[in-house]
């Protein structure tokens, strides 16, 4: 079965988590335009979307953004609500997935808040238990079939990561915990590689059928 090439714009407040999402999407044959919000020089997301719209560019099928994305100092306001409302008015065909990376579960109140502003869905923190259901939801929204094999490697990474975090929390003073948990190195590869590297492990990309 020939699958169409899906395009996603991704932005995240955490470097390691953003690269993990990129690896997951690319393992499913999705083309990812990664806007690393964690960089100090990162553009304001809403401004970047407005600029694309003004230039008449074709928007991706989906925007995936962390709800923690904020405006730069001194305002530092959360952007998710404004981004959803603007996209619903100007590019309603683009699906918006919000990521609540600090929540293990999403409450009905939080879900209603996201849907009322135009988001397609609000998803919790990734873990080895919800990985399959979350990726299945994304691939179905993108009109693609799920490729489960690469997710086995991702699940192992998440299991290892969770174990590492428990060890760090048990052995690290509180003031150092956040820095330790966000300091995982990520290696970059050329764009034409057939693998995505996450925490030193190769994750095979799924090739798009032609």
Minimum mean pLDDT range among 37-46, 66-75, 124-133: 37-46
Nearest of 206, 186, 209, 185 to residue 195 by alpha carbon: 206
pLDDT tens digits for range 153-199? 888 878 776 655 444 334 444 444 444 434 444 444 444 445 554 44
Q: Domain residues of the chain, as ranges?
A: 7-204
- At 12, phi and psi to the nearest 5? -150, 150
Q: What predicted TM-score, i.e. pTM, was given to this entire model?
A: 0.74
> What would the mean pLDDT of 83-97 be, rounded to a whole number?
96
pLDDT-based confidence at residue 100 (cuts at 50, 70, 90): very high
Nearest of 210, 137, 156 to residue 20 by alpha carbon: 156
Residue 42 has what pLDDT? 54
Q: How many angstroms separate the CA atoms of 1 and 140, rounded?
A: 15
- At 179, phi and psi to the nearest 5? -60, -40
pLDDT-based confidence at residue 99 (cuts at 50, 70, 90): very high
Topology classification of domain 7-204: Rossmann fold (3.40.50)
> What would the mean pLDDT of 126-145 be, rounded to a whole number?
93
Residue 178 has what pLDDT? 41
Please provide the size of the chain in residues. Answer: 210
């Amino acid at each position: 079965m020939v699958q169409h090439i899906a395009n996603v714009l991704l932005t995240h407040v955490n470097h390691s988590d953003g690269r993990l999402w990129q690896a997951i999407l690319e393992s499913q044959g999705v083309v990812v335009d990664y806007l690393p919000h964690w960089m100090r020089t990162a553009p304001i997301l809403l401004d970047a979307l407005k600029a694309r719209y003004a230039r008449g560019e074709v928007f991706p099928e989906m925007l995936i953004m962390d709800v923690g994305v904020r405006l730069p100092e001194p305002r530092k306001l959360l952007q998710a609500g404004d981004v959803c409302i603007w996209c619903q008015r100007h590019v309603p065909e683009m699906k918006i997935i919000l990521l609540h990376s600090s929540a293990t579960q999403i409450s009905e109140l939080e879900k209603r808040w996201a849907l009322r502003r135009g988001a397609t869905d609000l998803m919790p923190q990734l873990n080895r238990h919800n990985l399959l259901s979350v990726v299945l939801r994304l691939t179905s929204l993108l009109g693609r079939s799920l490729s489960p094999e690469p997710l086995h490697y991702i699940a192992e990474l998440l299991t290892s990561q969770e174990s590492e975090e428990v060890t760090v929390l048990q052995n690290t003073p509180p003031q150092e915990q956040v820095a330790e948990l966000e300091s995982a190195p990520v290696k970059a590869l050329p764009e034409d590689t057939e693998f995505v590297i996450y925490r030193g492990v190769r994750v095979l990309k799924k090739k798009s059928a032609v």
